[in-house]
Chain A
Amino acid sequence: GDSVTQMEGPVTLSEEAFLTINCTYTATGYPSLFWYVQYPGEGLQLLLKATKADDKGSNKGFEATYRKETTSFHLEKGSVQVSDSAVYFCAFTGFQKLVFGTGTRLLVSP
């Protein structure tokens, strides 16, 4: 069935380090792919998206590329900040709803 697999957290980095959070999906057809972010005490916010193969979504210095051949949508950022500490969710369009991964907590220390 439809599912998303994200790397387990927490991911602990120092400020200005490079970030990668892996995400792979199992889906039928050609879904749209998303990354959502949940900052402490807040609701989920759409971070970026890609709607077709080889598209690159980007926002706030984060990037992710839709890789159809590997069914992946890894999240990257070249230099993280303390303010990036949050939980990141990978998701895709399943049948009539978004299917989410379990989330990856990112902790960035000064």
Chain B
Amino acid sequence: GAGVSQSPSNKVTEKGKDVELRCDPISGHTALYWYRQSLGQGLEFLIYFQGNSAPDKSGLPSDRFSAERTGGSVSTLTIQRTQQEDSAVYLCASSSSGTDNYGYTFGSGTRLTVV
């Protein structure tokens, strides 16, 4: 598509429930990134995909967080047994392979609220 698309834009969930966040990157972009933006915090790196594999998942905060990417395109970030501290804006970005020098294109994010 023309830009990075994320869905849903807003999600309110009860503590303990599982949630899935979706990212549809720019067509042809092989690199995909997930970041988290908490209130008053900067952007926290979560995971990086190159194609369907994840060379760097060092930022995932706990084993409740997982992500996958299929067909070198759409990615899903799953949070199991959500906690209140998971409340944040989850941002997805994509870039052409090997061109970090050009920066990323970000989606508008999914605002997750755990109540």
B70 close to chain A: CB less than 8 A: no
Interface bits B94-114 vs A (CB < 8 Å: 1, else 0): 000000111111111100000
Number of interface residues of A (CB under 8 A): 23
- Please provide the chain B residues from 33 to 83 with a CB less than 8 Å away from any CB of chain A in the complex: 33, 35, 41-43, 45, 48, 55-56
B89 to chain A, nearest CB (A): 9
Secondary structure dominating the interface of A: strand
B52 to chain A, nearest CB (A): 16
- Contact partners of A101 in chain B: CB under 8 A: 42
- Contact partners of B41 in chain A: CB under 8 A: 102
Contact of A100 among B42, B100, B102 (CB under 8 A): B42
Q: State whether B108 touches A97 (Cβ < 8 A).
A: no
Number of interface residues of B (CB under 8 A): 21
B91 close to chain A: CB less than 8 A: yes
Q: State whether B48 touches A96 (Cβ < 8 A).
A: yes
A44 close to chain B: CB less than 8 A: yes
Q: State whether B103 touches A46 (Cβ < 8 A).
A: yes
- Contact partners of A93 in chain B: CB under 8 A: 100-101
Contact of A98 among B55, B100, B109 (CB under 8 A): B100
Interface positions of A (Cβ within 8 A of B): 4, 32, 34, 36, 42-46, 49, 51, 89, 91, 93, 95-103
Q: With A42-B108, A51-B101, A98-B45 given, name 5 new contacts (CB 8 A).
A: A34-B103, A43-B107, A44-B106, A49-B103, A89-B43
Which A-B residue pairs are the 9 nearest by beta carbons? Answer: A102-B42, A100-B43, A43-B108, A44-B106, A32-B101, A93-B100, A46-B103, A43-B106, A100-B42
